[in-house]
Amino acid sequence: MTTNIILLGPPGAGKGTQARRLVEERDLVQLSTGDMLREARTSGTEMGKVVAEVMDKGQLVTDEIVIGLIREKLEDTKAAGFIFDGFPRTLRQADALEDLLSGMGQKIDAVIEMQVDDGALVDRVSGRYTCGNCGEVYHDTTRPSAKEGVCDVCGSTDLRRRADDNAESLKTRLLEYYKKTSPLIGYYYAKQKLRPVDALAEIGKVGHEIAGILGQPVEA
């Protein structure tokens, strides 16, 4: 049985953090379009340059580019299921995802709507840093690494802050979220897939609530 989950919420809601927990607990693969695009921007290609400019402004990259990236990953990856993190972000992406999955004989099982107050997001993104080697997500106050400057998971000292994690870019990213992504809440509600969680709660509690929705992990 496959399980495909979407984590839906504004920037800083905790999608990446919860996606990594789910990967640990279940045999699922995280597909983060943000991570894929950050990789693409370092490729030195023409596409990478365009992507970098758009991301730094906090705007959305075109549907064609992100749908193409997801299509490639779905074709290339064998998994018991996928966690879509930061995708879909537009109705067009949502329709494309449904088509791609149905072509594989699969569907979306649950859309976890991570509910937060906008006020909390400035602090969430301005305190965020991640491991450049393994992708572990940290926060200056709510989830600092045990040893300063060293990743708890892989021991790397390559801890980074994102160029777009500043108050100015967050304003644009939030506007993009409300204009283009929040309509997906109604879209998935109508499809009876929407499962809201209180993403303001502490990280472990949010994980618990998500586990309650998804049920026990299936033994391999």
Among 3, 17, 33, 130, binds ligand AMP (CB under 6 A): 33
Nearest distance in Å: CB 87, ligand AMP: 4
Nearest distance in Å: CB 104, ligand AMP: 19
Q: Which does 93 bind (CB under 5 to 8 A by kind): ligand AMP, ligand ADP, none?
A: ligand AMP
Does position 86 interact with ligand AMP (CB under 6 A)? The reply is yes
The residue length of the chain stands at 220
Is residue 71 annotated as part of the catalytic site, yes or no? no
Q: How many CB atoms lie within 10 A of CB 205?
A: 13
- Segment interacting with ligand AMP (CB under 6 A) among 72-80, 85-93, 112-120, 144-152: 85-93
Q: Which does 89 bind (CB under 5 to 8 A by kind): ligand AMP, ligand ADP, none?
A: ligand AMP
Q: Which does 87 bind (CB under 5 to 8 A by kind): ligand AMP, ligand ADP, none?
A: ligand AMP
Is residue 162 annotated as part of the catalytic site, yes or no? yes
Site residues for ligand AMP, 158-197, by CB under 6 A, read: 164, 173
Is residue 173 annotated as part of the catalytic site, yes or no? yes
DSSP the chain: ----EEEE-STTSSHHHHHHHHHHHSS-EEEEHHHHHHHHHTS-SHHHHHHHHHHHHTPPPPHHHHHHHHHHHHHH---S-EEEES---SHHHHHHHHHHHHHTT----EEEEEE--HHHHHHHHHTEEEETTT--EEETTTB--SSTTS-TTT----EE--TT-SHHHHHHHHHHIIIIITHHHHHHHHTT-EEEEETTS-HHHHHHHHHHHH-SPPP-
Nearest distance in Å: CB 81, ligand ADP: 19
Is residue 128 annotated as part of the catalytic site, yes or no? yes
Q: Which does 127 bind (CB under 5 to 8 A by kind): ligand ADP, ligand AMP, none?
A: ligand ADP
Please name which of 171, 215, 198 lies closest in space to residue 14, comparing C-alpha atoms: 198
Is residue 191 annotated as part of the catalytic site, yes or no? no
Q: Which residues bind ligand AMP (CB under 6 A)?
A: 11, 33-34, 37, 54-55, 58-61, 66, 86-87, 89, 93, 164, 173
Give the catalytic positions in this structure. 15, 89, 128, 162, 173
